[in-house]
Structure 1
Amino acid sequence: MGETIPIAVPRKGRPLECVLDRIAARLDVPTLADDVTSTLRHEKALTKGRLDAEEDVYHRLAAYSAVDDPTEPEYTLLRDDRAGKPRRIVFDSVTIPLEDGNGTEIQLVGREEPFRALRTHEFALGFDSADLVLEEVVELRPEPLNRIADVNARINPVDTDVRVVTGLGDTVYHTLMATPETAPQQAAIDRDFLEEYEGPLCIEPRYERLVQAVLGTKTLDGVDFRYPAEGREEEAAIADAGLGVYLTVTGSTAREHGLVLGEQLFPSETVLLENDSEVTDAVAAVRSALANGAPETELALPN
């Protein structure tokens, strides 16, 4: 009987979909990503009230989960943050045999905070947002942090054994944006502009440490962080402040609020993580299989 390697993954949303796509591309499970993604998108629509449910959530959960076959996806229930705190069906686990001749399997295990599960040594491998690494463990320095490939150099080994292996390429960016009144005319809205700027910079409170790491503490001299009021749309709050940083995909909402898009400061994407102190030969082989052929954000880690 071969070894089963557990891997922490997000329970729902774009990061989980990206992980499942990576698994489908690397391993022989062509239908897994579509099956799980379609189920969770349907359940999200039910939770948001876009669809009417024909059965209650417990009957749907029983229908989805094949608890007698670990190679089929299993789901679980969580309380959603929306009004009324409805129960929402999310991903729980699935076991995938590897074609390695040793009987090795990987088990994807849903976690609310995969990165923190690796930090506490529950897992050797996991997938989570690169944002969480910046928010929690990278050192703040005067110089900016520009690339995911530079993140590991900013992690103090005393703080954690977790390191980034590679990005998965599902990239959206933390983007600098400003009103025309604040932005320099015929000049770039970028880090150089911020070097000279003094005044308010609107950000989400949870991104304060991330923004400090990405921009560098030197750039933020004279900058006063402002935060959107509860219930206030982020782009609207940035328009009030005149300058801000926020995640953008197309930037259309920012433009609707009269904002001009500036420099894409740092990619927000799902990353493969490892806890270096928990890596065995079997874990290293799985890590290599999942990272093989990754985009240019892949880091040089030992096999």
Structure 2
Amino acid sequence: MTEPLPVAVPRKGRPLEAVLERLADVGGTDRLEELADSVSNTLRYEKAVTKGSLEAERGPYHRLADYSDPSDPNNPEFTLLRDDRDGKPRRIVFDSATVSIDGVDLMLVGREEPFRALRTHEFALGFDSADLVLEEVVGIRPTGLGRLADINERIDPMDTDVRVVTGLGDTVYHTLMGRPSELPAGTDLDREFLTEYEGPICISPRYERLVTAVLGTDVLADVEFVYPDPDAPEEATIADTGLGVYLTVSGSTARDHGLVLGEHLFPSETVVMRNAAEDHPALESALRLFDGIGSDSKITV
């Protein structure tokens, strides 16, 4: 009997929820729906406990024992990690679960950085945020990029064997935004506007390489990156700066700060990835489960 295909997934957050929801949609079984709901609800509760917005009645080890039952292979397992918040509190996160979809057995294994786990050849298949791929390996060029389908062409094959297969469609966008006073009448807030712009753009420091790759060095020739006040909402600092790039869903908070939304520069989306140098008897069948599901155009691997 073939061992399940190990699949690297995030330990927590929106990307993990996107993976579980997609597996439930593809598999169409009550068990997969229950798995997605139970893991997501557990981790949302644990996040609230870690952030201090909820107080748990029992300690983390008791809660961990309640969540994980290794004697039942149908149950997900969780584990404890130290969170990076002040005080380094213990945080309960996803560890593993085995699922079967259309005869394909997958062992979902939680990793802090699934993309890096694929880079080191621990896995042949995994899921992670497209952001991390851009931050880690996408080459910086004079011209920018704006689609998931552009990523693989920017990856140096000497640097990694990992390629993006498709997106899961859980899309929020890195969006250009600014004060109306920064825009001449009749001007759109887009990449073309930035080619003539000289001055500061407010971005999160962790996204400096991502924004550089997305916009390209030509556009940024006369631009200075500035960073938000850590004690203030990012939209407030962008409003003070005049222009910025920030993740948006609806854009309502940006508008509350007097900002107008411009071009969606790049989708921040959970992506399916494969390491082209690794194989498994179930790999191609697993990839077919996700064929064509993304919101972007088909990606060449």
Which bracket does the TM-score occupy, shorter chain normalised? over 0.9
Q: How many residues align?
A: 298
Matching of residues 148-167 of structure 1 within 5 Å: 148-167=148-167
Aligned-residue offset at 1:133: 0.7
The percent of aligned pairs where both chains have the same amino acid is: 63
Q: Partner residue of 1:48? A: 51
Measure, in 1, the Cα distance between the counterparts of 2:203 and 2:284. 38
The residue number in structure 1 matching 2:293 is 294
Deviation at 1:152, TM superposition (A): 0.7
Deviation, structure 1 residue 59: 0.5
Partner of 2:67: 64
CA contact (8 A) 2:152 2:300 kept: no
8 Å CA contact 1:77–1:89 kept in 2: the answer is yes
Cα distance in 2 for residues equivalent to 1:18 and 1:38: 13
The equivalent residue for 2:168 is 168
Contact map agreement 1:8 1:123 (CA 8 A) in 2: yes
Task: Report the Cα offset of residue 50 of structure 1.
Answer: 2.8
* 1:151-300 correspondence to structure 2 within 5 Å: 151-289=151-289, 291-297=290-296, 299-300=298-299
- Tell me if structure 2 keeps the 8 A contact 1:164–1:299: no
**RMSD of aligned Cα (Å):** 1.6
- Partners of 1:150 and 1:120 lie apart in 2 by 23
SS in 2 for 1:224: strand
More deviation, 158-167/52-61: 52-61
Q: Work out the CA distance in 2 between the residues paired with 1:298 and 1:192.
A: 23
Task: For residue 220 of structure 1, give the secondary structure of its aligned residue in structure 2.
Answer: coil
**Deviation, structure 1 residue 131:** 0.5
**Residue by residue, what CA displacement relative to the aligned partner does 1:185-239 show, whole Å, maximum 9, x if unpaired?**
2321001100100111111111111111111111111111111233332112212
Question: Normalising by structure 2, what TM-score?
Answer: 0.94
CA contact (8 A) 2:175 2:266 kept: yes
- Report if aligned partners of 2:166, 2:292 keep a CA contact under 8 Å in 1: no
Deviation at 1:67, TM superposition (A): 1.3
> What residue identity is the alignment partner of 2:80?
L
In structure 2, distance between residues paired with 1:184 and 1:266: 24
Partner-residue secondary structure (3-state), 2:116: helix
User: Does the aligned pair in 1 maintain the 2:7–2:109 contact within 8 Å?
Assistant: yes
Assess, with a 3 A threshold, how the Cα gap between structure 1 residues 232 and 52 changes in structure 2: closer, same or farther: closer
> In the alignment, what sits opposite 2:105?
105
| 3-state secondary structure, aligned to 1:278 | coil
| 254 and 99 in structure 1: CA distance in 2 versus 1, 3 angstrom threshold | closer
Listed as ranges, the gaps of 5+ residues in structure 1 are none
1:92 pairs with 2:95 = yes
- TM-score normalised by structure 1 residue count: 0.93
Q: Contact 1:165 / 1:298 at 8 angstroms: preserved in 2?
A: no
SS at match of 2:84: coil
Distance 1:124 1:234, change over 3 A: same
Distance 1:41 1:262 in 2: 31
Q: Which runs of 4+ in 1 moved over 6 A?
A: none
In structure 2, C-alpha distance between the alignment counterparts of 1:264 and 1:211, rounded to whole Å: 12
The answer (yes or no) to whether the contact 1:167–1:298 under 8 Å persists in 2 is: no
Letter in 1 for 2:76: P
Q: 5 Å matches for 1:116-155?
A: 116-155=116-155
